[in-house]
């Protein structure tokens, strides 16, 4: 697959993966996809979602949005009873045992723009083949990138299993 990086340059992605989000009762209209492209220098990550909750203060004083966004250790997206959705995905993926804020699976937060978010970013913390079978989670609140072990981002709104594409 070729990725267009401007009017004159194309780069070949040697391996690709994608994950389609399954929503929870906490955000029933949330849907979208995240795509991973292996490049010679790392991985380009593209995410596009809609149905995100708008920014607000929650009942417990915690804010809803921007939304934490991470790779989790297990590729299991079971909603369960709906009170703690997607706990089946396990904790943040942290193969090199770093403190939170420096996990290989820590991503930038998603900002809801009338329920929509699109983002492209680059990471050299993993290769596409390393994340096949893991999951991606969108959380209710922002990641503070400090609280241990997982940034205090709140409940899980959506989950997606990463598969080769």
CB 128 within 8 Å of CB 107: no
For residue 46, being part of any structural domain is answered with: yes
For residue 1, being part of any structural domain is answered with: no
At 89, is the secondary structure helix, strand, or coil? helix
For residue 149, being part of any structural domain is answered with: yes
Domains: count for the chain: 1
Predicted model pTM? 0.88
The residue range of the domain holding 141 is 12-164
- Integer Cα distance of 87 and 70 in angstroms: 13
- Integer Cα distance of 68 and 153 in angstroms: 6
For residue 63, being part of any structural domain is answered with: yes
pLDDT tens-place values along the chain, 165 residues long: 545 555 545 566 789 999 999 999 999 999 999 999 999 999 999 999 999 998 888 777 788 889 999 999 999 999 988 788 999 999 999 999 988 788 899 999 999 999 999 999 999 999 999 999 999 999 998 887 776 555 577 899 999 999 999
Strands 69-72 and 135-139: antiparallel
Q: What is the DSSP string of 17-42?
A: EEEE-EE-TTSTT-EEEEEEEEETTE
- Integer Cα distance of 83 and 51 in angstroms: 19
For residue 5, being part of any structural domain is answered with: no
CB 60 within 8 Å of CB 141: no
Q: Residue 157: which of 47, 28, 71 has the closest Cα?
A: 28
- Integer Cα distance of 142 and 134 in angstroms: 21
For residue 51, being part of any structural domain is answered with: yes
CATH code of the domain in which 30 resides? 2.60.40.200
């Amino acid at each position: 697959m070729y990725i267009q990086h401007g009017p004159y340059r194309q780069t070949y992605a040697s391996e690709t993966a994608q994950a389609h989000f399954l929503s929870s009762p906490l955000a029933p209209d949330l849907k979208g996809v995240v795509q991973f492209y292996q490049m010679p220098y790392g991985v380009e990550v593209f995410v596009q979602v809609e149905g995100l909750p708008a920014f607000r203060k929650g009942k417990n004083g915690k804010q809803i949005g921007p939304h934490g966004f991470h790779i989790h250790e297990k590729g299991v997206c079971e909603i369960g009873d709906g009170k703690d959705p997607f706990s089946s995905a396990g904790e943040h993926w942290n193969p090199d045992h770093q403190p939170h804020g420096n996990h290989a699976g820590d991503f930038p937060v998603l900002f809801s723009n009338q329920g929509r978010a699109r983002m492209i970013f680059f990471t050299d913390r993993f290769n596409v083949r390393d994340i096949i079978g893991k999951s991606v989670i969108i959380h209710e609140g922002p990641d503070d990138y400090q609280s241990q072990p997982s940034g205090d981002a709140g409940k899980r709104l959506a989950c997606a299993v990463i598969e080769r594409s």
